[in-house]
Structures are given as structure tokens and as C-alpha cells.
């Protein structure tokens, strides 16, 4: 005889919106795919195009080759710069080798680069608010000569700066920081340097701000909040931090459905779910599908903003003959 299975326990899911891939990430992925279509594989990509293992692995299967430095790119083959941007020395090296370059730097990151360059050319010391070692920060620091840009992560770092208080000091920020954390650093900069100048608005991108605002709206209402994103994704990690500081009973980062903390899920009645700006929506749906196998879900979308931003693709240069081919 058939024994009826136990009824699935109910679970309320508050689904944050906006969430997941932003316009800059979608543009970067589209650039690699278009480069593969135009040039044929292999197309080389300096560093991860975006910080998401699923995306990187999918592009690898299509023929993208991810490298740490340009010396791994054969002469004549196209190279894509990642969405995080690159230092000026990388561009110069690509130009020296006549590598066909397709620039996937997020336009909002490129805007920060232009501002840093403008301030340095005007003779102003620049303070960059960001996380040491992050790919975007490395690229932004590389827009200026060594020592021209001073990296800070906290108000305490501001206190250690030895810049003159009577000079005009400029600041810029990494685009994927926590809004409140950045505001505290800017406040301390203003206190120390009365002539501080910076962007009309902070450089934190709209997608980062929107995703953090959505998390703040649902965090106090859930027992656990899960962020779908990569461990090396700055904006995803900031979402976990925001959730923990704005009322979530617990908050964790997962890459995919196979990372779901089933033991913890069995103890809760409400779950918040979002995704970092480099995580595709299909990974969120994968998580929901996995949850439906064990729970009866009541999914409620909490939407705080509509995102209509899009960015054009850059110019795709022609392939050049490699030096040995040109000599034939």
C-alpha cells in the first residue's frame, strides 16, 4: 500500500527586489560573448570578468580563457579587461604588444577612474575609500602614480593620514561598499580636511545601493537571510553585513543551492533571499526550486526600486597579425 508522505512544512520567503546581476555585469558578460562570436575562441579575459564562478565556468565552456596577467595572452589574440577595471600600466602593456583590447570596465567604475585622474592632474592628493586588494581598488589606484592616491578603509585609517589640513583633498570610493560604512568614512574626512572635495554623490553604484536598501527592508522581518553570491564578491559580502546590522536573525552567503544550510532552515519560519550584483537570476531560482522540494513556500516579493539602466557595448577592434605572422 502507498504510505502518504509527510506534509511539507510551510516557509515564508521574502524575495528582495532589486537583486542579482546589474547592468554593468550584464554588459561585461555580453562583451565576452560578443568577442567570442566575432573573433572565435580563444578569447582571453584578464581576471574574472565578474566575481561569480557559475558565470566564469559557463564562459570557459564557450572558449574564454581567464588569465592573471597579459604575459599569458598570445600575440595577436584579443583580451577583455574585466568589469572591475585595470591599472593604466596594464593598458600601456597591451598597447605596447598591440593586443586587440575590448574594455569591459563597468562605466560607473570608469567614471571613478576619470575623476581620480582629473584630481591628480589638478595637483590634488586623492583619498580612495575601498578594500585593500580588491580588483576594483587595484585598478583605481593604478590610474595615478604611486603615492598620489591614499587608500583608507575606516575612520581610523583617516586619522592616520598625514595630508595637510589646509589643502584641497579629493576623495573617491569603491563602487561596491556598504552605504553607511562609507558615509562614516566621508564624515571623518570632512572633519579632518575642511577643503575636502568629491563627487556630487558618493561613487557607490545605484545597483549596490538598491540591493542594500532592499535587504534593509526585509532583514528585520526574517529569521535568516541568504545572499546568493561569490565569496570574493564585495557587494555580496556587504549585503550579508547589512543584513546582520539591520535586524536579520541570521545572515549567510551561499554560492548555489547546494550550499543551502538545511539544518538551519528546519528551525525557521521566515527566510529572506537576495543576490549580489554579479549573481545571475537563474541561481536565485535554483535556490527556490531546491527549497520547494522540502517546504511549502509562500514567496513574497519586496520591491523597493525599478532598475532600467543599461550600458552600450564598447568598440571591438580588428584583429592584428602577430609579429611572426606579419613578417611572413
**41-70: pLDDT as tens digits:** 999 999 999 999 999 999 999 999 999 999
Q: Are 243 and 227 in contact (CB under 8 A)?
A: yes
Please give the CATH topology (third level) of the domain spanning 9-21+206-303: Cobalt-precorrin-4 Transmethylase; domain 1 (3.40.1010)
For residue 64, cis peptide bond before it (omega within 30 degrees of 0): no
DSSP string, 131-177: -TT-HHHHHHHTTS-TTSEEEE-SHHHHHT----TTS--EEEE-TTS
The span from the CA of 124 to the CA of 235, in Å, is: 29
Terminal C-alpha separation, the chain: 79
**CATH architecture group of domain 108-192:** 3-Layer(aba) Sandwich (3.40)
Q: Whose CA is closest to 125, among 178, 91, 170, 158?
A: 170
pLDDT at position 320, please? 66
Q: Tell me the pLDDT band of 201, cut-offs 50, 70 and 90.
A: confident
Task: Give the mean pLDDT of the chain.
Answer: 93
Task: Extract the C-alpha cell encoding 282.
Answer: 537563474
The CATH code of the domain at 23-106 is 3.40.50.11270
Task: Extract the C-alpha cell encoding 140.
Answer: 583605481
Task: Give the orientation angle of helix 23-39 with respect to helix 107-121, to 10 degrees.
Answer: 100
Each residue of 185-216: b (16+ CB within 10 Å) or e?
bbebbeebbeebebeeebbbbbbbbbbbebbb
Q: Tell me the pLDDT band of 203, cut-offs 50, 70 and 90.
A: confident
pLDDT at position 313, please? 97
Q: Please say if the pLDDT value at position 4 is more than 50.
A: no
pLDDT at position 204, please? 84
pLDDT at position 264, please? 97
**132-183: pLDDT as tens digits:** 999 999 999 999 999 999 999 999 999 999 999 999 999 999 999 999 889 9
Q: Tell me the pLDDT band of 281, cut-offs 50, 70 and 90.
A: very high
CATH 3.40.1010.20-classified regions of the chain: 9-21+206-303, 108-192
Q: Please say if the pLDDT value at position 11 is more than 80.
A: yes
Q: Tell me the pLDDT band of 7, cut-offs 50, 70 and 90.
A: confident
Q: Please say if the pLDDT value at position 202 is more than 80.
A: no
Q: Tell me the pLDDT band of 326, cut-offs 50, 70 and 90.
A: very low
pTM recorded for the entire structure: 0.91
pLDDT-above-90 percentage for the chain: 91
CATH 3.40.50.11270-classified regions of the chain: 23-106
**287-309: pLDDT as tens digits:** 999 999 999 999 999 999 999 99
**Residues noted as catalytic:** 136
Amino acid at each position: 500500500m502507498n504510505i502518504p508522505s509527510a506534509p511539507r512544512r510551510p516557509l515564508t520567503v521574502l524575495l528582495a527586489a532589486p537583486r542579482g546581476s546589474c547592468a554593468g555585469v550584464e554588459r561585461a558578460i555580453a562583451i565576452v560573448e560578443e568577442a567570442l562570436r566575432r573573433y572565435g575562441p580563444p578569447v582571453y579575459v584578464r581576471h574574472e570578468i565578474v566575481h561569480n564562478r557559475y558565470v566564469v565556468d559557463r564562459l570557459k565552456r564557450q572558449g574564454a580563457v581567464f588569465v592573471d596577467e597579459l604575459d599569458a595572452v598570445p600575440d595577436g589574440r584579443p583580451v577583455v579587461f574585466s568589469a572591475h577595471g585595470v591599472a593604466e600600466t596594464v593598458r600601456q602593456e597591451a598597447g605596447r604588444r598591440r593586443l586587440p583590447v575590448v574594455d569591459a570596465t563597468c562605466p560607473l567604475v570608469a567614471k571613478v577612474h576619470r575623476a581620480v585622474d582629473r584630481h591628480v592632474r589638478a595637483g590634488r592628493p586623492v583619498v580612495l575609500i575601498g578594500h585593500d586588494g580588491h580588483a576594483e581598488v587595484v585598478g583605481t589606484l593604478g590610474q595615478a602614480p604611486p603615492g598620489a592616491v591614499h587608500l583608507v578603509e575606516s575612520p581610523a585609517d583617516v586619522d592616520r593620514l598625514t595630508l595637510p589640513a589646509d589643502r584641497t583633498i579629493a576623495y573617491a570610493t569603491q563602487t561596491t561598499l556598504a552605504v553607511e560604512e562609507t558615509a562614516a568614512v566621508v564624515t571623518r574626512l570632512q572633519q579632518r580636511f575642511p577643503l575636502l572635495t568629491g563627487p556630487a554623490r558618493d561613487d557607490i553604484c545605484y545597483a549596490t545601493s538598491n540591493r542594500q536598501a532592499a535587504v534593509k527592508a526585509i532583514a528585520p522581518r526574517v529569521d535568516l537571510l541568504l545572499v546568493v553570491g561569490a565569496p570574493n564578491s564585495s557587494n555580496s559580502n556587504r549585503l550579508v553585513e547589512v543584513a546582520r546590522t539591520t535586524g536579520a536573525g541570521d545572515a549567510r552567503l551561499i554560492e548555489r543551492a547546494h550550499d543551502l544550510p538545511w539544518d538551519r532552515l528546519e528551525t525557521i519560519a521566515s527566510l529572506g533571499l537576495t543576490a549580489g550584483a554579479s549573481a545571475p537570476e537563474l541561481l536565485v531560482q535554483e535556490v527556490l526550486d531546491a527549497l520547494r522540494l522540502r517546504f511549502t513556500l509562500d514567496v513574497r516579493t519586496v520591491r523597493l526600486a525599478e532598475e532600467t539602466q543599461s550600458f552600450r557595448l564598447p568598440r571591438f577592434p580588428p584583429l592584428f597579425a602577430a609579429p611572426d605572422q606579419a613578417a611572413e
